[in-house]
Amino acid sequence: MAELDRSASPHPAGVGAAGLAARSVRSYLSPSFHRYEPMLYLAFAGGCTLFVACRFYAAVKLQTLYAYAWARPDLYQFFARERVLGSWSAPLDDVFIHFDFAREAARGHPFQWSEGAGYSSGGTSLLYPFVLALGYVLGFRKLELMAWAAIIACVGVFGLLVAARRLCAGLPPAVSYLFPPGLLCVGALDWSLFSGMEVAFFLALWGGALIAWDDLSAAARAPERALGKPAALLGAWGATLVATRPEGAAALIVLAASAVWLARARGLREVFRLLALTGGPAVCVLLAHGLANRLLTGESSAAGALVKLELNHPFLTPKGVWDAWLFHLKYQILRVTQYHFADVAAFGWIVWALAAVPLFCTATRRVGLVLWASVLSWLMIVALNGQVRWQNERYTMPAVAWLLLSAGLGLGTLLSRAARSRTRSNVLGAALALLTTGGFVFHQIPRFRQQIWFFGRAARNILDQHLTAGALIRQDPALRSKRVLVGDAGAIPYASDVPALDVIGLGGFHGLPFARATRIGIAAALELIERIPQAERPDLLAIYPSWWGDFPIWFGTRVAQVPVRGNVICGGTSKVLYRPHWDALDQSGVPFSLRPGERIVDSVDQADLVSEREHGYTLSEKHVGFVFMKLLENPSRPREDLWDAARLVPPGVTETFRLGHLPPEKPLTLLIRSAPTVATEFDIWFSDRLAGHVQLHPNDGWLETRVTLPAPHADRVTVVFGGGAGERALFQIWAVATP
C-alpha cells in the first residue's frame, strides 16, 4: 500500500519540497530565459560601451569646457559665440584629417582634402570619411562632427561585441559576457576606439566579417550546403575592411583561408572559386585605389604609405628596413604589454597567457588560431610603419582588441570547464585564472585612469593650439589667408575652412609629389612650391619652426604664435604663424649667366622630383642623394637673393639623365649651377662617349659653369656625369642653344 502510494505520488522519491520548487522554477523560466537572454547580452554590451565612452568623453568636456572656460575666458567666449570651438575636441590632429575629407565629400568633392587641392591619396581610410560625411549632411557641423564620430565609435564597439558572441561556439553563452568588460578594460584601446579615428568602425566591420566567416565555415562542414552566398558575403565584408584600412587585407586573408580550408574536400576548382569570392572584392578595391592614385598623382602607393612606411624611406638600405621592422615589432609587443596593460610590467603578460588558452582546447582551437593569426599578421604589417611609436600606439590597437578577445575566450574556457567538470585540475585552473585576472585588473586600473586623463588633456591640447590657430586665421583680419601652408594637415584647415597646402604631403595638391619630396627633405618640397603659380602659393604658414630647419627663417616673417598649456600630444609648445615671401624662388629656374641670343631648350632641376622624373634622373647607387638648399646673393640682381636645392652626390657615384628638344646639328652648351665648398671634378659622357671634363673650385656664392659639347645628332640624348674623387652638389643643369 505504501509502495502504491509512493508510485502514485507526483514527486520523485528523495526530492524535497524546496528542490522540487527550484526545479519547477527553472523548468518554467528556462524557455523564457533562453528566449530573452540575447537581449540581456545586448543590454549588457551596450551598457558597458556607454559607460566607458562616457568616462572618456566626460574627460574631454571637463578639460575643454570647464577648464578652458576658466583658464581662457576671453578666447572661450569669443569662440563659443562664433560656434567655432564649443566643448567638443579630439585627442589627435589626424582625426581632423578625416573631418577635412568628410566635409569636402559632403560638399560634393570626394577624395579631396582641401578646397581646390584636387584628388588626394593621403586619407588613411577610403570609407570612413564618407560615414563622417553623412553626419555632416545631417547637421553635425564644425566641432559637432566629433559628436557624430563618437556615435559611430559607440555603435562600432557595440557591433564588435555583438559579433564576438560567434567566438563562443561550443561554450556556454555565459562566456560571452566576459567580452564587454574584457575588451573595454584596457584604457589605451579605449583611447583609440573613442578618439574619432576609424579604429572602432574598422573593428565593427571585422565583426561583420567574423559572422560571415562563421556562416561560411558552418556551410563548409555540411557537404550538402552551397557555399557561394556565404563566401560572397564574406567577400563583401572584406571589401569594406580594406576600404577602411588597407592593413585589413591580412585579417581578411586569415578569415578567408581558414574558412575555405574546411571546403578543401570539394575539389581544387571549388577552392579557387571560394577564394575568388572571398578575396576578389577586396583585391578590386585595392587595385582600383592604386590605379586611381597612379592616374591622378603619378604614384600607385597612397601618400600615407609614402610618408610613413619604412619601405619607402629613400635613404634606408634593405638591412636598415629589416632592422627598423624588427625594432618596431618588438616595440609594439613590449610597449603594449609592459606599459599599456599594467603599471607593473610583469602583470601585462597575463593577457598573453590567457589568450593562449584557446589554442590548447579542442572546442576553441580553431577560433583561437584565427585570433592569433590576426594579431600576429597585424603586428607584422604595422611594424613597417615608422610612426607606430606615436599617437598612443593607435596603429597597434586592432591587434590589442583581438588579443583581448582571445584572452576573454581563454578565461571563459577555464571557468566553463570547472563548472562542467569539477575535477581538482579544472577547479585549480579556474581559480588560478581568476586570481591572475584580478591581478591584471588591479594593475590596469591606474593605466585606465591615466588614459582617461590623457584623452581629455590631449583633446584640450588640440583645442588650445590647432583649433585655436585655425579659428584665429578665420576670424582675425590680420591673419586672413587665401591658402595656408601647414605641417600637420588636420585641425587648422578644418577650423579655418581656408584652402590649405600640406607640406608633408598627406593632403595632396594637384598631383605634386609632396609626400615623397618632404620625405627626402623640406628643400625638395620647396622645389614643388616653386612650380605653383604665384597667385596660388600659400600666403600664410602655420608650422612648428623646429621641424623645418632654415625654411621659416629664410622664407617667413613671424606674425603670431599660438601656445599650448600642459602639452602631451602636440608637436611643439607653440604653433607659429608666418607671412611667407617667395621672391627667392621666382628666379631660381633661370640661369643668371645666360648670354644674349641664347635660349634654354631643356633643363634638369636636381631635387625637383617632377623634373627628375621627366628626365629619367638616376644615381648609380641607391639610398644616397641627400637634399639640401642654399640661399645666396643673386649675381645678376645683387639686391636680391637666389634660392635653389641640390642633391649631395657621394664620391664615385654617377648621375644619369636625358635631355630633349635639342638642335641636332649644333654644338650643345650646358650651364651647370653649383655653389662648391670643396674642389671637385668629373667627366661628362655624351651619347656613350667622353665629351667633356668639369672642374669646380670653392666659391662663396653661386657659380654657373659653361661646358660645350659636340653636336648631339639627335633631338634626345642621355648624359652621364661620372663619379668624382670628392662629393659634389649640382643645383640645376640647362641645355642652351646658341645663336
Residue 489 has a pLDDT of: 79
pLDDT at 11: 38
Q: Look at phi and psi of residue 468 and say left if phi exceeds 0, alpha if psi is from -120 to 50, else beta.
A: alpha
**What pLDDT does 668 receive?**
85
3-state secondary structure of 464: helix
Per-residue pLDDT at 23 exceeds 60: no
Q: What is the pLDDT of residue 67?
A: 55
| pLDDT for the residue numbered 524 | 96
- Mark out the alpha helices in 194-247 (DSSP H runs): 199-221, 228-244
Cα–Cα nearest to 62, from 89, 95, 32, 29: 89
CA 526 – CA 607 distance, rounded (Å): 9
* Strand arrangement of the beta sheet that strand 689-696 belongs to: 618-619, 655-660, 716-721, 680-686, 689-696
To which H or E segment does residue 643 belong? strand 637-649
DSSP helix/strand/coil, 530:
helix
Residue 435, pLDDT > 50, answer: yes
Strands (E), 41-190: none
* Residue 85 pLDDT greater than 90, yes or no: no
DSSP code for 532:
S
Residue 705 near residue 680, CB atoms below 8 Å:
no
What percentage of residues in the chain have a pLDDT greater than 70?
92
| Range 533-537 average pLDDT | 93
Residues 198 and 124: beta-carbon distance below 8 Å: yes
Task: Kindly state the cell numbers that stand for 422.
Answer: 569539477
Q: For 220-249, how does the pLDDT look when each residue is reduced to its tens digit (9 = 90+)? A: 999 889 999 999 999 999 999 999 999 999
Global confidence as pTM: 0.91
Q: How far apart are CA 630 and CA 699, in angstroms?
A: 13
Instruction: Kindly state the average pLDDT of the residues 408-425.
Output: 92
Mean pLDDT, residues 381-392: 94
- Residues 266, 267, 273, 274, CA torsion sign: positive
Confidence of residue 602 (pLDDT cuts 50, 70, 90): very high
Asked if the model's pLDDT at residue 647 lies above 60, the reply is: yes
User: Residue 638's pLDDT is what?
Assistant: 86
Q: Which three cell numbers stand for residue 719?
A: 648624359
Nine cell digits for residue 108: 560634393
Report the chain's terminal Cα–Cα distance, integer Å. 137
pLDDT at 620 over 80: yes
Which has the higher per-residue pLDDT, 726 or 150?
A: 150
**Which has the closest alpha carbon to 646: 674, 671, 621?**
674
Return all residues near 335 (Cβ < 8 A) that are at least 6 apart.
389, 393, 396
Domain ranges of the chain: 35-457, 458-583, 587-737
User: Cβ contacts of residue 641 below 8 Å, gap of 6+?
Assistant: 583, 584, 631, 632, 633, 634
Please give the CATH number for the structural domain made up of 587-737.
2.60.120.260
- Using pLDDT thresholds of 50, 70 and 90, give the confidence band for residue 422: confident
State CA 676 to chain mean position distance: 41
Candidates 480, 463, 478, 473; CA nearest to 496 is 473
Which of 603, 691, 589 is CA-nearest to residue 644? 589
What's the residue count for the chain? 739
Check pLDDT > 70 for residue 2.
no
Evaluate if residue 16 carries a pLDDT over 50.
Answer: no
**Which is nearest to 215 in space by CA: 200, 199, 227?**
227
What is the amino acid identity at position 508?
Answer: G
Q: Which of 20-34, 122-136, 547-561 has the lowest mean pLDDT?
A: 20-34
User: Which of 32-41, 75-84, 528-537 is predicted with the least confidence, judged by mean pLDDT?
Assistant: 75-84
pLDDT at 4 over 50: no
Residue 689 CB partners (closer than 8 Å, separation 6+): none
pLDDT in tens, 270-324: 999 999 999 999 999 999 999 999 999 999 999 999 999 999 999 999 999 999 9
CA distance 142 to 148: 11
In angstroms, the Cα distances linking 327 to 189, 339, 341, 386 are 22, 17, 20, 10
Residue in the structure block whose three cell numbers are 595638391: 509
Over residues 251-261, mean pLDDT:
96
Distance of CA 596 to the CA centre of its chain: 53
d(CA 584, CA 489): 26
Residue 428 is predicted with a pLDDT of 95
* Residue 88 pLDDT grade (very low, low, confident, very high; cuts 50, 70, 90): confident
- The pLDDT score that the predictor gives to residue 512 is 94
Mean pLDDT of the chain: 91
Q: What are phi and psi of 88, to 5 degrees?
A: -95, 150
Does residue 78 register a pLDDT over 80? no
C-alpha cell at 736: 642652351
Rg of the chain on CA atoms, in Å: 32
Q: Give me the pLDDT at residue 508, please.
A: 86
Res 204 pLDDT > 50? yes
What average pLDDT score do residues 728-732 get? 96
Q: Using DSSP bridges, classify how beta strands 484-486 and 540-543 pair: parallel, antiparallel or unpaired.
A: parallel
71 pLDDT higher than 70:
no
**pLDDT at res. 597:** 87
716-721 vs 689-696, strand pairing mode: unpaired
Question: Which of 8-17, 42-51, 133-142, 701-710 is least confident?
Answer: 8-17
One-letter amino acid at 710 equals P
Q: Record the cell numbers describing residue 59, joined without a space.
A: 574627460
